[in-house]
Amino acid sequence: MNKKYRKTIIAGNWKMNLLPSEVKPFTEELRSSMPRVKTCETVLCVPFTHISALRRALKDNRIAVGAQDVSTYEKGAYTGEIAGDMLNDLGVRYCIVGHSERREYHGEDNFTVGRKALAALENGIHPIICVGETLEQRERGITMEHISCQLISALSFIPDDKVRQCVIAYEPIWAIGTGKTATPEEAQEVCSFIRRIMRERYGARLARSVSILYGGSMKSSNAKELLSMPDIDGGLIGGASLKPNEFIQIIDAVAQVTGEER
Ligand code: 13P
């Protein structure tokens, strides 16, 4: 399928790493040698406490600001929660929802994930909806069943006219932080399955315009191979997004794949 209808997105997920005071030196290093790749949207999903510092440090729109979670609630007595309009007010453009770490450590189920995706969309923020199977599920041969259940449950909360603003991230849990990457073929198989679900539910036009990312030990040494796959439109990158040089090389891999001058 032709990739020209959709954006390539390289999104860093800092998780709970680095300090707010480290944002400025990090972005200075990143911006000084980050290639300008027209076809690539670069995003940094940082902890809530880092968002303002990141906005200040970025100065222009070359890198979009992302968050890692959003409340399902709009406002009120929800101690510790962060609402979608608060994120929007800070200039957040993307928000990860349903990361496997939130599902595992914070008990988030598919319905919570769907409501969070909707909360982001209602505030003009692109949700990056994460799906992915455990090693046990892969070995039992139920990967596709599991992915389809996660995806369809989350999408059922989203009005059809907002689905095109969603980004889907396939993150096999066994590949996250383990150094064990899915092979490009394994990742492609699931990403193509995700696009098929989108096509069946929303039609070919929408399916070809939705960006599907791969996440799980993506780094400079494997990014090019993964990004060359026809249904992989970018990466959601944990560990390697904490090192400016690694992250830059992943963006560079996009330029190599698209044949763009940098
Ligand atoms: P790693 O790149 O560290 O494996 O993390 C992937 C991830 O969970 C991104 O959301």
Q: pLDDT tens-digit profile of 128-166?
A: 999 999 999 999 999 999 999 999 999 999 999 999 999
* Ligand 1 site, residue 216, Cβ cutoff 6 A: yes
The neighbouring-strand residues paired with 40 are 8
* Ligand 1 site, residue 13, Cβ cutoff 6 A: yes
Please give the number of the atom of ligand 1 that sits closest to the Cα of 216. Answer: 4
Length of the chain: 262
Compute the distance from residue 67 Cα to the ligand 1 centre, in Å: 15
Angle value at C-alpha 144, between 12 and 150, nearest 5 degrees:
60
Q: pLDDT tens-digit profile of 176-233?
A: 988 888 999 999 999 999 999 999 999 999 999 999 999 999 999 999 999 999 999 9
Question: How many C-beta atoms surround the C-beta of residue 184 within 10 A?
Answer: 17
Active site residues: 99, 171
* Ligand 1 site, residue 236, Cβ cutoff 6 A: yes
Indicate yes or no: pTM above 0.95. Answer: yes
Q: Both tokens of residue 200? A: 């069946």
Alpha carbons 179 and 169: distance in angstroms, whole number: 18
* Ligand 1 site, residue 237, Cβ cutoff 6 A: yes
Check if the beta carbon of residue 210 is closer than 8 Å to that of residue 195.
yes
Closest residue by Cα to atom 2, ligand 1, is: 238
Compute the distance from residue 240 Cα to the ligand 1 centre, in Å: 8
